[in-house]
Amino acid sequence: MNNSEWPLWEVFIRSKQGLDHKHVGSLHAADAAMAVQNARDVYTRRLEGVSIWVVESKHIHASNPDEAAEFFDPAADKVYRHPTFYDVPDSIKHM
Amino acid sequence: MLRLMTPTQPEVSAVPTPPPASNPLFPFVLQLADTSLILAHRLSEWCGHGPVLEQDLALANIALDLLGEARSYYQYAAELEGQGRTEDDLAYLRSAVEYRNPLLVEQPNGDFAHTIVRQFLFDVFHYELLIELKAGPDTQLAAIAEKSLKEAAYHRKWSAEWMIRLGDGTPESRQRIEKALRTLWRYAAELTSPTPLELDLHTLGLVPDYAELQARAAAYITHVFAEATLPVPTEAFRQPGGKLGRHSEHLGYLLAELQYMQRTYPGLTW
Amino acid sequence: METPTLAPTPEEQFQARIDADVRIEPKDWMPDAYRKTLIRQISQHAHSELVGMLPEGNWITRAPSLRRKSILLAKVQDEAGHGLYLYSAAETLGTTRDQMLADLHSGKAKYSSIFNYPTLSWADMGCVGWLVDGAAILNQVPLCRTSYGPYARAMVRVCKEESFHQRQGFEVMQTLCEGSAVQKEMAQESLNRWWWPTLMMFGPADDASPNTEQSMKWRIKRFTNDELRQKFVDMMVPQAEFLGLTVPDEKLKWNEARQAYDFGEVNWDEFWSVVKGNGMCNHERLQARVQAHEEGAWVREAALAHAEKRQAREAVAVAA
């Protein structure tokens, strides 16, 4: 097998002004400029976007699913962080 | 007159309108339409055969843009002509000698380098031409040009970057791009060499000054070639003809395929 | 005596998540067989999109009107996009697109046999859109809820885009059927050729489909082959009637008790023969893909070489 496969890039698209860029998928490209253009040609053929980010997949660092419990479960009992934890008297407005 | 019985045909008024003092813009708009259609046709031949999936999509996008542009021109040309012909009549029922596209766009795809050189030479000219047409006095042509200019700007960027990648890539890609240039360079000059029709329209202010377009196109080509580390060809030989209806043999085959259905089953709706 | 409660094995935990409809994501633990089955299924699907471009691509240059030409080109281009989404989904499982393509080119990987049939008339563009895409959609919609996250997300995108494909195919058929006698005949002739191969797209009968049970358990398949085939027939027969076309099956008959159509037996000899490489176009289709890939090698190499040169130059510029 030849080794001419282009690197893999992750594509993030802002669907309209005011919204976050959202991961939409990936593609192959030889360089960043080409990755942006390929993303335009592949992922915005139906007016899906107004802005594109690309990042080479190898540069993404992710949390480890095996550590998901220690990472995320401790947030579960901090109910006092949520506004619904507090009882506000009915007569109090604008809170 | 079988065609007139199909539902898509406009009603023909009982009083025949006198043949309009043939609008001089008609043949020019038709030439623009033919040019975009023929190049779109060539690019569409790549569909499913591109060098990598991402570029297959890119090539099809450019083909779709050009096809859309061609349709706008054909529809406008049909309107200018005022004889009840449709976009499809103009595209599918004219012979090779009636087609007015420059020779460059009918040249076969060859390898990817050929396709890129053909596209780049066309895109540079197309982009500059649309800038002028957009600012021109004919509002309908200006509107088509305004829409197409956005597309052409992207095409030019895409093909210029590929010129640079292939010119300054591997020895093989450079050799291939040089070969493509040797084959295709002779057809570039026709784009900016005005025909008698274009000269007439220029005096009416409807067609830009091609000498100026040529200068701007040359400057851009020089800039891109420098980045691609490619020498600008010095070949002086030019091969004109397409815009006057004198085509290479390639166009006949292309039209045979393009027009196959309409010629085999005349007058039907698809 | 109390039986000691054993901690659930990773396989059991995995199955429990799937049963609870929790999506599996790329970095999650998964059984090897699940990974392998998915890679096979997703890449096979991707290959089908890629090879599927060829029979329709055939007619782009011959489309009978500029409107039809634009639609067809956009549609075939979409298939390239769908192939790309699916290859990307498979790549999250640890394979590469190059590897998958190598398997396609060597004949190790399969693609949908329907694309080994030739497209011989313009009406075939109608039948491919209406029937073949119709069958594909039946297969694909349930996969939007499949257990593997990247696959499900790719399928959502595919299905969203695919919805116009079947409609444009139906529109082609409808225009033909409302047209001249020659056009209607063209439509019927095409239906005669495509009906049975389309029914084969759902795969062998359930009793000859040994992997179905495991795949259903893993929720990477949500209906059996025969269920989908029946659904398809029930959906398509009224549409053919609307068009005024005759479905080429003498045994086709509404079964009041089952509230479904009875239909004839698929010719499984033909099915297996085409799968094994003896269809009209197997050789050409694969050859076209291999050729595109091989002729594209120098292009891909040049782009990489240029990117490296540019990066080196930029590094020098930064250092200076």
pLDDT digits (tens, 9 = 90+) for C144-198: 999 999 999 999 999 998 889 999 999 999 999 999 999 999 999 999 999 999 9
**Mean of pLDDT values over B194-202:** 96
User: How far away is chain C from the Cα of B260, in angstroms, using its nearest Cα?
Assistant: 6
Q: Please answer whether residues B230 and C306 qualify as being in contact, where contact means their C-beta atoms are separated by less than 8 angstroms.
A: no
Q: Which of A8, A31, A34 to mutate to test the interface with B (most CBs of B within 10 A)?
A: A34
CATH class of B26-264: mainly alpha
**For residue B29, pLDDT beyond 50:** yes
All residues of chain C having their beta carbon less than 8 Å from the beta carbon of residue A39 are none
Q: Which CATH number characterizes residue A57's domain?
A: 3.10.20.520
pLDDT tens-digit series, residues C267-290: 999 999 999 999 999 999 999 999
In angstroms, the CA B181 to CA B160 distance is 14
ipTM: 0.94
Distant-in-sequence, close-in-space partners of C29: CB < 8 Å, separation ≥ 6: A65, A66, C10, C14
Closest residue of chain A to C101, computed from CA coordinates: A1
% residues pLDDT > 90 (chain C): 91
Distances C15 to A77, C29, C141 between C-alpha atoms, Å: 27, 11, 23
- Counting every residue written for chain B, the total comes to 270
Q: In chain A, what residues touch B157 (CB-CB under 8 Å)?
A: 37
pLDDT at residue number C19: 96
Answer whether residue A91 is part of any domain: no
Mean pLDDT (chain C) is: 95
**pLDDT score at C319:** 86
Range of the domain at A52: 3-85
Pairs of CB atoms within 8 A across A/C: 55
The whole-number average pLDDT for the span A63-75 is 89
At residue A1 the predicted structure's pLDDT band, cuts being 50, 70 and 90, is very low
Mean pLDDT of C193-204: 97
Q: Give pLDDT tens digits for C232-263.
A: 999 999 999 999 999 999 999 999 999 999 99
C140 contacts C150 by C-beta, under 8 angstroms: no
Rounded mean pLDDT of A20-31?
Answer: 96
Total domain count, chain A: 1
CA C142, C150, B53, C159 torsion-angle sign: positive
Residues 16-35 (C) with a CB less than 8 A from some CB of A:
25, 27-29
At C162 the pLDDT is: 87
A90 occurs within a structural domain: no
A61 assigned to some structural domain: yes
Q: How far apart are CA C132 and CA C194, in angstroms?
A: 8
Residue matched to tokens 């790719």? C154
Instruction: Give the pLDDT band of residue A76 (cuts 50, 70, 90).
Output: confident
| pTM given for the model | 0.93
The distance in angstroms from the start CA to the end CA of chain C is: 79
Does some domain include residue A36?
A: yes
Question: Residues of chain B with pLDDT > 90: what percent?
Answer: 89
Query: Within a domain: residue A94?
Result: no
How much is the pLDDT for C2?
Answer: 61
